[in-house]
Amino acid sequence: MADLIAPHGGLSEPVCRTVPAGEIDAFLAEAGTLVQVPVSSADLSTVYRFGDGTLSPLTGPMCSKVYNQVLDDCYVESNGARYAWTIPLAFPVTADLAKTLKPGQKVALVCPAGKIVATLELNDVYAWPKLKYLRSVYLTDRLDHPGADMVIRGDADKSHLIGGEIRVLPQPKNPAFGKYVLTPREVRRLLAERGWNAVVAFQTRNPLHRAHEYALVYGLETLLREGFNAGACLNPLIGEVKGDDVNAEIRMQTYEKLITDRSLGDGDSDSSLWGPRGESVPDRVVLLGLDIKMFYGGPKEAVMHGIYRQNMGYTHLVIGRKHA
């Protein structure tokens, strides 16, 4: 079965910047000789999503021209056309480190534990326009919100950004829920195996409450009524979130319980639709996590959530009333 939807950017398949297993030793040998650039735990998930193609058509963090183009006009260019992109992505560095870096240089990206996770061939090192970024992404001059905290406080020591072409080592699997985190290619294969011709994804960063459950069930039932052989994906975001959000490991246990106990849809599903099919909601729902950080960017981030899901292969996405 062909993919249900093409990746973003007019591509025939998602970008892949992940180092193949047979090249890892040589990759690490070269990376060990390079200048090291640290990335935060929040940005580490972005590194891996560049690698696996969730951020297609991007092949690495943005240069200044593309970064500002997104802030000003909300698009990237790919295959000679413009495609929506509403939050720019680049990696922050300190002013002191920025002085030592230059376009054309290859650097090693290291995680907070000090391990090499990627290499980046730099094409730009530039000042971070923090206030412009915050105004564009959050559509306000106010700074009393989580997005501003991440930039003004969390990255207080970072004044510059780097862009370039990235190559990324495979992401280690989380022992608690790694089986639910798949690459876009893996997700697309799974959906093809199910034989579905439409799939609605439901984004959440919280345990499900009844309104969440109803939105997911209603989205699935709408597609079925329209004649699709449809499925749904409970697709929680499990990357970096606010400190007062429920942590990913606990949340994944709650989602898993709903599906394994076959209680998803109880009280919310339409028995007149499911009864004649001899099915219930859990028969057409898969649980897959998305490991990427939250920006708490409202409408701008809702667009990005749609792009991530398009690259995964989902055809539809439920957008909540206070999404992101």
| % of the chain with per-residue pLDDT over 90 | 81
Q: The whole model's pTM is what?
A: 0.94
53 neighbors 184 (Cβ within 8 angstroms):
yes
Q: Are residues 43 and 121 in the same domain?
A: yes
| CA distance to 33, 37, 125, per residue, from 30 (Å) | 6, 15, 22
Q: Assess if residue 91 is contained within a domain.
A: yes
86 plus 104 within the same structural domain: yes
Q: Are 187 and 148 within one domain?
A: no
Same domain, 139 and 188: no
- Domain final residue, candidates 168, 189, 215: 168
pLDDT tens for each residue of 3-44: 789 999 999 999 999 999 999 999 999 999 999 999 999 899
Residue 125 is part of which domain span? 21-168
pLDDT by residue (tens digit) across 267-322?
889 999 999 999 999 999 999 999 998 899 999 999 999 999 999 999 999 987 77
- Any domain includes 150: yes
Residues 26 and 144 in one domain: yes
Given this model, what pLDDT does residue 322 score?
Answer: 74
Could you say which of 142, 168, 194 is where a domain stops?
A: 168
pLDDT in tens, 222-271: 999 999 999 999 999 886 655 556 777 888 888 888 888 999 898 889 99
- Whether residues 164 and 199 share a domain: the answer is no
> What's the domain count of the chain?
2
User: What is the model's pLDDT at position 174?
Assistant: 87
Q: How far apart (Å, rounded) are the C-alpha atoms in residues 22 and 13?
A: 22
Q: Tell me if the bond preceding 129 is cis, omega within 30° of 0.
A: no
Average pLDDT value over all residues in the chain: 94
- Does 1 have pLDDT greater than 50? no
Strand runs labelled E in the chain: 35-38, 75-78, 81-84, 91-93, 106-110, 116-127, 160-168, 198-202, 230-234, 285-287, 316-318
Joined together, the tokens standing for residue 111 give 């995680």
Together in a domain, 204 and 284 = yes
Q: Name the domain boundary from 168, 201, 230.
A: 168
pLDDT number for residue 241? 56
CATH number at residue 133: 3.10.400.10
Same domain, 135 and 192: no
Q: How far is the CA of 137 from the CAs of 88, 107, 243, 246, 305, in angstroms?
A: 9, 29, 21, 25, 14
Asked if 62 and 101 sit in the same domain, the reply is: yes
